[in-house]
Structure 1
C-alpha cells in the first residue's frame, strides 16, 4: 500500500433512485451520456477516476484548483443539458471535494480523504459543489467564483467536524448566484468506499473560456441569440462540430471557443505587421490569444495527431482545430469553417485565420507585441478604485461600454490599453496571469504596438492622472521636448523609481525636472516643476506615471 496526498472529488446524482423508478430505461440512457461528459472533463483536467458505482464517481486530482475548476465545468455543462428536460426529470450531480491523506491499493484509494469528500458531497446543493477548508485555502484567490462559509459541520463517521464551503454556481441567465447556506442529505457516494468498478474511457469535450471584449468606435452588433447559444453549447458538449466537417474520418474539437457576454464591434487601429508564411514549428505554449486550457488541449490532441490537420483562431481566442482530414486543403477549410461558425456567434472580432497547418505555423502576422515583464505591478500608493469615467485616452463611447460591461462584471477581469486609445478587456476569467497575457496579446495585435494593463479587477493598477489629461504613452528615449543628452538619464531615473507617483517636467531648453516616489499625484507634479525651475525656465509637466500629459 502507498500513501499520498491528493485532492479527492466525489459526485453522485441527486434523487437517482426516484429517477430510475419513474423511467428506468431513459434514466440509464441519460446517465451513460452524462457520464461521458463527467469522465471527459475529469480526464482533461488531469484527474483519474478510481472508483464508480451506479450513479456515483470518485476521482483524484493532483491539484485542488483543477479539481474545483473541473467540478464547475461539469456542473455548468450538465446544467445546459438539463435545460431540455422538465424540472422533475433533470439529472443533477452533487459534488464534494477535499484534500487529504489517502492509501492507494490496487488502483483504489481509501482513507479519511475519501470519506470526507463523500460527506461534503452530501452537504452540497443539487447541481452544486461543496469543498473543505483545505481546498478553499488553495483556490480562493485563484478561481473567479464566490464561496459561502458553512462553518464546521458534524458528519457521519468522521470524528472531528468538517469545515465546509459552498461554491457559487451560474444561473440560467449567465450570472452567479451567491451560494445559500442550506444542507441536504448525503447520497450514494458512500457506497464507493467499499465498491470498486472499472473507469470509463474519456471522450472529447470543450473547455469554457474567458469572455473577451474589444472596444470600438463603430456600431455595436446585436446580442447573441440565447437559443442559438444554447444549441451551440449542446453541440460542444456532445463533442460534435457545429457543422459537418469535410473528410470521412474528421475529428474536430473547439480550442476554447470563448463566448462573449455583451455587444462589441471591431476596433479601428493599425494592422499588425505581416510576413510570409512562417516555417516555425508549431508549439502549443507559443500560441497567442487562447487560454491555457486551449494550449493544453492542443498539446494533448493536436500535436500527436498525424496529418492532415489544421488550427484556426481569432485575436479574441475563438478557435477550432481539426485532425484526420482527407487532405491538407480539407483540413484548412474545415478548421476555418468551424472557427468562423463559432466566431459568428461571439461578440468579438469575427475574422478567423489559420495559425497552423500540420506541424507548421502559417500565421500571416508577426507575434503580437508585448511589454516587458512584470505586466502588473501592485503599488498601494497609486492604486485606486476603477472608474470608467476616468479611463485615460479612451473616447466617451468606449467609457460608456466600460461603464456598462466592465464595472459590475465578475472577476477575474482586466483592461489592456494602447497608446492610441485602443483597449481590449475581458471578464470572468480564472487565472490572473492568463487573463493579463491574453488581453495584452489581443490589444497588441490590434494596436500594432505594446499595450499596458491599466486595470485589474476593480482597481487601476497604474498611476492614472487626474490633475492633468493623459494624451499618450510616455517614452523618455524618444520624447522630443527633452534635451537629447538628458533622455537616457530620465529613463534611468524613472526605472529606479519603482513605487509612488512620478512626474517629469521640462523647460524651454529641454532640461528635465523630477518629482519621483511621491505619495500623491500633486506631490509629484509640484516636485517636478520645482526641480525643473532650478535649471530651466517656463517649466511644464510632460509626464505623469506612464502617460504623457497636458493641461485639462
Structure 2
C-alpha cells in the first residue's frame, strides 16, 4: 500500500432506484450509454476510474482543475442528452470532488478523501457539482466558474465539518444558474444567543401539549380496542404475500438504501427470467456441496468429503468470483469464521479480485446472506451451426473498448474450457480453465447473475460465440420478452413460448399497438428481420425490429 494526494471525483445517479423500478431494461441501457460519456471525459482529462458500484463512479485526477473541468463537461453533456426524455425519466448525476490523502491498494483508493467526495456528492444538486474548500481554493482563479459558499457541513462518518461550495451550472442561454443552498444544521448555530431561551420555552410547551394529546389519544384507543370491533371498509388493503416479496431494488446497488417493497408493474408476466432484480432470501439449511454457487468441481469435492466429515468448529467462505477459504478444527465458532474469511480474502486479493469474501457455512449449516444467484433456465447454451461463429473480441456486444481489450488479453489465450456470460447493463464474467464447457457456463452465469442481479446469457464458449451476434442493427441490451414493455402484455406469453426452442436466427418486431411479429428459425439475419417485419405488418402499423436473438437492438448511429 502507498499513500498519495489526489483529487477524488464521486458521481451517483439521483433517483436511480425509482428509475430502475419503473423500467429496468431502458434504465440499464441508458446507464451504459451515459457511462460511456462519463468514462470518455474522465480518460480525456487524465483521470482514472478506480471503483464502480451499480450507478456510482469513483475516479482520481492529477489535479483539482482537471477534475472540476471534467465534471462540468460531463454535466453539460448529460443535460443535453436528458432533453430527449420527459422530466420523470431523466437520468441526472450528482458529483462531489475533494482533494485528500488516500491509500492505494491493488488499484483501489481508500481513506477520508474518498469518503468526503462521496459525502459531497450527496450534498450536490441533481445535475450539479459540490466541491470542498480545498478544491475551491485550487480552482477559483484558474477556471471561469462561479461558486456558492454553503459553509461547513456536518456529514456522516466524518468527524469534523466539511466546508463546501456549489458549482453554478451554465444554462442554455449562456447564463449561470444560482445553486439552491441546502439548509443545514450548522446554520442554526448563527441564531442570536438571546433567542435560545425563547426556543427552549416554545419547544417545552409544544412537548407538553403533544404529550398530553398523545396520552389522551392512547386512552381513547385503549377504550376502543376493548369494545367489539366495528365492520368498516379498509382504506388501504394489506399487501399480499406476493407484493411484499417483490422488490425492484437491484442487487447491484450496494451503496444504495433499499426501496420499500412493491410489486413490479409487470408482475403478471412470469414466464421467462425476470429482468427486475429483487434480493434473494438468505440461504439457510444443511450444507449441500452440489448447491454451492461460484465454485469449481475440486472445491465441491472437498466440501462433500473432507469438510463435511470434519468436526466443529469449522467454517467455509467464498466470494462471487469463485475464491474460497475454509477453516477446520478451530477453538470456537468465531475463530473458524475469521480464519475462513481471511484465507479467502488473501486469495482474492492476490488475484486482484474486487469482490469481498463472506461466510457461506458455519459447521455444516449454510448462513449465506445473499441467496442463490439468478439463473436462466437450462440448457445454459446450445451449439447451433447456423448462428455460431468464431469469437472475436471486438465484436463482443454491449461492453466498452477497455473490456474488449481485457477479453482479448485474457479470454482468447486461456485454456479450455472457458465461458463468458453477459448481463443487460454490460456486466460480464469469464471463467477460464474449467473442467468442462457446462461447468464453465454455469459458473460464469452464477457470478454474472450475482453481479447484475438478473439472469445473464452465455455469449461465448471456448473459441466461438454461441449466440447470434447481430450486425444489421445496433445491440443495446439483453432481450427479456416476458417483461418487454414494447410488446403488448397479452402477447408476451406467446412470444416467450415461440422463442423458447427456436434455433437459427430469430427476430422480433413490434408496431405502434405493441403487436409482435416474429421471424423464426431463419438461415440468416436479414431473412429473420424481413420475416419479423412482414409478420408484424399483418396486425400492426409502423413496425420496427426490437430484438435479434437474445439482444435488444436499435438503429445503427
How does the TM-score come out when normalised to structure 2? 0.50
Confirm or deny that 1:385 pairs with 2:394: no
What CA deviation, in whole Å up to 9, does each residue of 1:284-339 have, x standing for no partner?
11111111111101111111111110111111121111111111111111111111
**Equivalent of 1:490 in 492, 495, 501:** 495
CA 1:270–1:418 in structure 2 vs 1: closer, same or farther (change >3 Å)? farther
CA RMSD of aligned residues (A): 2.5
The answer (yes or no) to whether the contact 2:337–2:359 under 8 Å persists in 1 is yes
**Equivalent of 1:293 in 286, 298, 301:** 298
2:427 corresponds to: 422
**Equivalent of 2:357 in 347, 352, 361:** 352
What CA deviation, in whole Å up to 9, does each residue of 1:250-303 have, x standing for no partner?
xxxxxxxxxxxxxxxxxx944586578654111111111111111101111111
What CA deviation, in whole Å up to 9, does each residue of 1:131-176 have, x standing for no partner?
xxxxxxxxxxxxxxxxxxxxxxxxxxxxxxxxxxxxxxxxxxxxxx
CA 1:476–1:339 in structure 2 vs 1: closer, same or farther (change >3 Å)? closer
3-state SS of paired residue (2:459): strand
Confirm or deny that 1:500 pairs with 2:504: yes
Confirm or deny that 1:327 pairs with 2:320: no
**Runs of 5+ in structure 1 lacking a partner?**
1-213, 224-267
1:474 corresponds to: 479
The answer (yes or no) to whether the contact 2:468–2:505 under 8 Å persists in 1 is yes
1:512 corresponds to: 516
The answer (yes or no) to whether the contact 1:282–1:359 under 8 Å persists in 2 is yes
The answer (yes or no) to whether the contact 2:283–2:371 under 8 Å persists in 1 is no
**Equivalent of 1:402 in 400, 407, 428:** 407
Matches of 1:483 and 1:312, distance apart in 2: 45
1:534 corresponds to: 538
The answer (yes or no) to whether the contact 2:476–2:553 under 8 Å persists in 1 is yes
1:549 corresponds to: 553
3-state SS of paired residue (1:485): helix
2:44 corresponds to: none
**Runs of 5+ in structure 2 lacking a partner?**
1-51, 60-103, 108-250, 255-276
What CA deviation, in whole Å up to 9, does each residue of 1:351-372 have, x standing for no partner?
1110001111111111111110
2:238 corresponds to: none
CA 1:281–1:517 in structure 2 vs 1: closer, same or farther (change >3 Å)? same
Confirm or deny that 1:308 pairs with 2:313: yes
Matches of 1:438 and 1:452, distance apart in 2: 12
- Please report how far the alpha carbon of residue 459 of structure 1 lies from its aligned counterpart in structure 2 after TM superposition: 0.7
1:367 corresponds to: 372
The answer (yes or no) to whether the contact 1:419–1:472 under 8 Å persists in 2 is yes
3-state SS of paired residue (1:381): coil
How does the TM-score come out when normalised to structure 1? 0.50
- Please report how far the alpha carbon of residue 382 of structure 1 lies from its aligned counterpart in structure 2 after TM superposition: 0.5
The answer (yes or no) to whether the contact 2:297–2:435 under 8 Å persists in 1 is no
2:450 corresponds to: 445
The answer (yes or no) to whether the contact 2:460–2:466 under 8 Å persists in 1 is yes
CA 1:526–1:444 in structure 2 vs 1: closer, same or farther (change >3 Å)? same
- When the two structures are aligned, how many residues end up with a matched partner? 294
Matches of 1:374 and 1:313, distance apart in 2: 26
Matches of 1:425 and 1:326, distance apart in 2: 38
Determine which structure has the larger helix proportion and give its number.
Answer: 2
- Please report how far the alpha carbon of residue 410 of structure 1 lies from its aligned counterpart in structure 2 after TM superposition: 2.5
Confirm or deny that 1:436 pairs with 2:453: no
Matches of 1:531 and 1:352, distance apart in 2: 50
CA 1:407–1:329 in structure 2 vs 1: closer, same or farther (change >3 Å)? same
Matches of 1:310 and 1:393, distance apart in 2: 39
Matches of 1:275 and 1:368, distance apart in 2: 8
The answer (yes or no) to whether the contact 2:441–2:458 under 8 Å persists in 1 is yes
CA 1:525–1:447 in structure 2 vs 1: closer, same or farther (change >3 Å)? same
The answer (yes or no) to whether the contact 2:282–2:371 under 8 Å persists in 1 is no
CA 1:385–1:276 in structure 2 vs 1: closer, same or farther (change >3 Å)? closer
2:192 corresponds to: none
3-state SS of paired residue (2:406): helix
The answer to which of 214-223 and 541-550 deviates more is 214-223
The answer (yes or no) to whether the contact 1:315–1:349 under 8 Å persists in 2 is no
The answer (yes or no) to whether the contact 1:270–1:447 under 8 Å persists in 2 is no
CA 1:407–1:303 in structure 2 vs 1: closer, same or farther (change >3 Å)? same
Matches of 2:462 and 2:283, distance apart in 1: 37
3-state SS of paired residue (2:429): strand
Matches of 1:401 and 1:336, distance apart in 2: 28
1:411 corresponds to: 416
What CA deviation, in whole Å up to 9, does each residue of 1:450-487 have, x standing for no partner?
11101001111011111111212222222222223222
- Please report how far the alpha carbon of residue 218 of structure 1 lies from its aligned counterpart in structure 2 after TM superposition: 7.7
CA 1:277–1:520 in structure 2 vs 1: closer, same or farther (change >3 Å)? closer
- Please report how far the alpha carbon of residue 529 of structure 1 lies from its aligned counterpart in structure 2 after TM superposition: 1.3
Confirm or deny that 1:523 pairs with 2:527: yes
Counterpart mapping for 1:232-251 below 5 A: none
Matches of 1:448 and 1:364, distance apart in 2: 14
What CA deviation, in whole Å up to 9, does each residue of 1:434-454 have, x standing for no partner?
211111111111111111101
3-state SS of paired residue (2:517): strand
3-state SS of paired residue (2:285): coil
